[in-house]
Structure 1
Amino acid sequence: MKDVVQLKKSLGIILFILLLSLSVNTVSAQKQVKNIVLVHGAFADGSGWEEVYKILKKKGFNVSITANPNTSFTEDVAAAKRSIDRIEGQIILVGHSYGGAIITEAGDSDKVAGLVYIAAFVPDAGETLLQLVKSGPPTPNSGIEAPTADGFIWYGKAKFHSGFCADLSKEKADFLYDSQVPIAASAFVAPITKASWKNKPSWYIVATDDQTVPIEGARFMAKRAHSKVTEIKASHAVYVSQAKAVADVIVRAANESLK
């Protein structure tokens, strides 16, 4: 009889532990942000996010890719905000390169739970991209050209592969070059009005072989924003060449931003 009583007690304890574990896992799942908005930078379009998109979708995330026109900073921020506005629930906002400036401005929405910067600019209020670019030594392999007569800037063919995406195949680099979206020169002198990283948690990926955003500049901006930093040996196009590593950081942000 005592053995039966003891068995019932043991089964009760086991059941309690299982229910407690289920409760903890449910709460943890509820805290994970399920919406991701990806914002590309200059000299690129949304297609570069394809592998990151696929990885995140397989993990159950709702993923949206913003096709910012790169026609002016104001219009690019408006495009990101349109993506944010159509989503229900909390969002992790992700920006690559110039996209970092866009998410800094657009990220003040109450829907945005966290910011992920990928080899990106992280300006403060009142700063411009031009100020950040000039704040340190230029990258010698950058292929950014002078503005055209109509006020747009392209990334030149001669240095595109080596300066923008050296760790990709020539075939992939050619595709990225031919699909690039030029950026309005005016975007480089448009001051940031809202630095959302001051009241949002942030994560930063430093691409240690970056030939477009100087590495020390990236580290400075990440430190200033109190971002959680991950360094990846990759080119400026790290979100293309190291899609899994980038997706892992985004998932980490989704898991940690509401804690």
Structure 2
Amino acid sequence: MATNSRPTVVLVHGAFADASSYAHVTERLLERGVNVRVPAVPNRSLLGDAEYVASLVRGIDGPVVLVGHSYGGAVITVAGVEENVRALVYLAAYALDEGESLGELQGGFPDSKLASALVFTPSTLAGNDENNPDVTVDVEKFPEVFAADLPAGLAKVLAVSQRPLAGLAFAEKAPVAAWKSKPAWGIVSSSDTTINPDVERFGYQRAGVESVEIDSSHLVMLSHPDEVVDIIVKAMDATSE
């Protein structure tokens, strides 16, 4: 079977968000004729979410560029070892090392505003227990912590439509780190108050990510979609066959 030489872009959302967080980026990529997939990630565990994304990648005929925002960066770090993944793009994201968890990477730096805004709720999903709660951001604090440079109305909508992250995801260790064998690009959101920007900088530097800094809130793909598309296209162009 013949494969496409132009990569398909798979956009992986983060915690407390869903596929709609890529709406502006998706629209712009489609206008350029790019093949795009934007899965709804379960946000139940790092390993489970990475396998879900990896299964999607395996079903794509041709090369793939994986893009991960925030927690989605950890997901693509694991899922990105799939054979047809050509490049990784990190957006205000966690670039974990092999054997490292979100909590361990984040724990090496001062807390952001997110730490005091988290809400832990017992999960009603089958198989979950009191030690694996749903984690969200306080609805009243969400606009300031997560979306400070977005229109107030949109920030309020995002606040009440969060996709929770299971607590387990903070502690699971990445069994692999795709950036060790795949080229990577990234954006540091320098005004991020969800992830300490130094966490992003450290992870990127360690991983050899070619990065730029944008004065943005955590939701850089909604507030600066053109810049995000530019870096995705750069990754595509650099790795196209």
How far the C-alpha of 1:78 sits from its partner, in A, is: 2.1
* Structure 2 residue identity aligned to 1:46: A
- Provide the aligned length of Structure 1 versus Structure 2: 230
TM-score of the superposition, structure 1-length normalised? 0.85
TM, length-normalised to structure 2:
0.91
Residue in 2 aligned with 1:12? none
Structure whose residues are more often helix by fraction: 1
The structural deviation recorded for 1:147 is 2.5
Following the alignment from structure 1 to structure 2, what is the Cα–Cα distance between the partners of residues 142 and 243?
27
Shift of residue 149 of structure 1?
2.6
Q: Distance in 1 between matches of 2:225 and 2:171?
A: 31
Structure 2 residues without counterparts, runs of 5 or longer: 124-132
SS of 2:88 mapped into structure 1: strand
> CA-to-partner distance for each residue in 1:117-138, whole Å, 9 max, x for gaps?
0000011011000111111001
Matches of 1:170 and 1:179, distance apart in 2: 15
CA displacement, residues 172-220 of structure 1 (integer Å, 9 cap, x when unaligned): 0011112210000000000100100001000010011100111111111
Residue 125 of structure 1 corresponds to 98
Which residue of structure 2 lines up, in the alignment, with residue 47 of structure 1? 20
1:207-246 correspondence runs (5 A): 207-246=189-228
Which residue number corresponds to residue 8 of structure 2?
Answer: 35
Query: How many Å separate the matches in 1 of 2:104 and 2:115?
Result: 17
Q: Larger deviation: 76-85 or 240-249? A: 76-85
Give the whole-Å Cα distance in 2 for the aligned partners of 1:202 and 1:191: 20
Match of 2:57 in 1: 84
Match of 1:94 in 2: 67
Q: Considering only aligned residues, what root-mean-square deviation do their CA atoms show, in Å? A: 1.7
User: Any unmatched runs of 5+ in structure 1?
Assistant: 1-29
Match of 1:17 in 2: none
Alignment of 1:1-259 (within 5 A): 33-140=6-113, 144-150=117-123, 151-258=133-240
| Separation (CA, whole Å) in 2 of partners of 1:37 and 1:50 | 13
SS at the partner of 1:147?
A: strand
Q: Write out per-residue CA displacement over residues 123-163 of structure 1, whole angstroms, 9 at most, x where no aligned residue.
A: 10110001111110011365541432331101111220011
2: CA distance, partners of 1:134 / 1:55: 36
Instruction: Give the match's secondary structure for 1:49.
Output: helix
